[in-house]
Amino acid sequence: MKDKLSVVLAGAGTAGHINTLISIAEQIKILSPQAKITVIGATGGMEETLVPASGLTLKTIPKLAFPRSISPSTALFPAKWAKEVRDAEKILKAVDADCVAGVGGYASAPCYRAAKKLKIPIAIHEQNALAGIANKLGARWADYIGTAYDGAKLKPRRGKTVERVGLPLRAEVVEAARARRENPEECRRDAVEALGLKPELPVLLVTGGSLGALSINKAVAGASRELLQVCQVVHLCGKGKSEIVSELVTKLAGKDAVGELLPSQAGQYFAQDGNYRIVDYFPHMALLYKAASLAICRSGAGTVNEMEAMGMPAVYVPLPIGNGEQKFNAKPVVDNGGGIMVQDCRFTEGFVKKYIPPLITNKKKLEEMGQKARELSGENAALVMAEEILQLANYHRYHE
């Protein structure tokens, strides 16, 4: 019998999926420090940077998308799929896997199929309100399925059920959420000081997700002059997109309005120059969440669940492409009064000018929205998933 459990976490592709995966890994390490954890991701994905940075071992397989329409390349898919599954099998055998836990994304589907062939237990977490293709496939073979939302439209195999557990959050986000809930004023003061922001002005956090959102970037930057009359802005533009935002803010609000958040030697950050701070990407989102008064964001599952945990009032602008899952992700918190949803086509600089200044200066309204958002939070999802995964892994080890 093996000395150590071997758990494989599969999937990713987006920051939301990667954060979910890492959150589960953190809890597995706490519950079973000796367990060996291996991540299987897709070549060329964000996981190639973020997973090793978290201290986890990463193996990659080529990215292969399921065909969504008939085209000349469709005929090549079966052979490519078979190779993907063989590649995943090799990794699972090499690490002597006791359980495969997938979070969705390109790499998860071939891992599910390989695990099924090798008779390795499968656990799945679905973070969106509408499940993606990979998890719909894996659900047919899964031994355990946890979801962030009710009604994810996954069909488990006979005798298995789907359980709503919430979304696994990074430990730093859970800790920040507790700090903001227990002592909001002190929490905000410390974060604002750490970031070098101005304590007397509310903070508007703008983020379009890990890759940025051009429509959000243009709308908010286009209203920069009006926003800076009542608040300070921290705008996460996405990689390679800060120049457009900087030029627009400079044109409308003046050169002195533009600033940055830069790392200091002490490991914290300081604000440089003006009150409109522009950043491509920021590695410590929990610190920004502590400082922010209001967020403008997409409504990916990770973002929505982090906003709920933080009790963060938010204006959600769902991504207008895909299968519509972003709209459904934000609907529960919006229906509960914890946020506002705006269609991407309606989120213009005119909308920002009209609605954001009176909202961010209404402290009572923001507090009410924050409380409503927090009512839907599920902070223990990572722990629940880790427990289920380890239970499956232990059973496999002792009965293989």
pLDDT digit string (tens) for 51-88? Answer: 999 999 999 999 887 776 676 777 777 888 899 999 99
- What's the pLDDT at 60? 95
pLDDT at 311 exceeding the cut of 60: yes
Domain residue extents for the chain: 6-169+379-399, 171-374
Give the three-class secondary structure for 65.
coil
Contact 121, 99 (CB under 8 A): yes
Q: What is the structure's pLDDT at 64?
A: 81
What are the backbone angles phi and psi of residue 378, rounded to the nearest 5°? Answer: -130, 95
Report, as an integer, the average pLDDT of 354-362: 98
pLDDT band at 132 (very low <50, low <70, confident <90, very high): confident
Cβ 312 vs Cβ 370: under 8 Å: yes
217 vs 220: CA distance, rounded Å: 6
Find the radius of gyration of the CA atoms of the chain. 22
Q: Do domains 6-169+379-399 and 171-374 have the same CATH topology?
A: yes
pLDDT for 357 equals 98
Question: Is a pLDDT exceeding 80 seen at residue 142?
Answer: yes
What does the pLDDT read at residue 255?
86
Nearest CA to 327 among 353, 361, 304, 358?
A: 304
CATH domain 6-169+379-399 topology:
Rossmann fold (3.40.50)
Q: What is the pLDDT of residue 265?
A: 47
pLDDT-based confidence at residue 128 (cuts at 50, 70, 90):
confident
Going by pLDDT thresholds of 50, 70 and 90, the confidence category of residue 190 is: very high
Selecting from 3.40.50.720, 3.40.50.2000, 1.10.287.130, 3.40.640.10, what CATH number does the domain 171-374 have?
3.40.50.2000
- The answer to which of 25-29, 104-108, 265-269, 394-398 has the lowest mean pLDDT is 265-269
- Tokens coding 283: 């590695």
Phi and psi at residue 321, to the nearest 5°: -120, 180
**Total length of the chain:** 400
CA distance 132 to 169: 20
Residue 130: pLDDT above 60? Answer: yes
183 vs 216, 268, 319, 368, CA distance in Å? 31, 21, 33, 16
**What is the reported pTM?**
0.78
Report the pLDDT value the prediction gives residue 211, as an integer from 0 to 100.
59
CB atoms closer than 10 angstroms to residue 32: 19
Higher-confidence position of 121 and 15: 121
What's the pLDDT tens digit per position in 23-47? 999 999 999 999 999 999 999 888 9
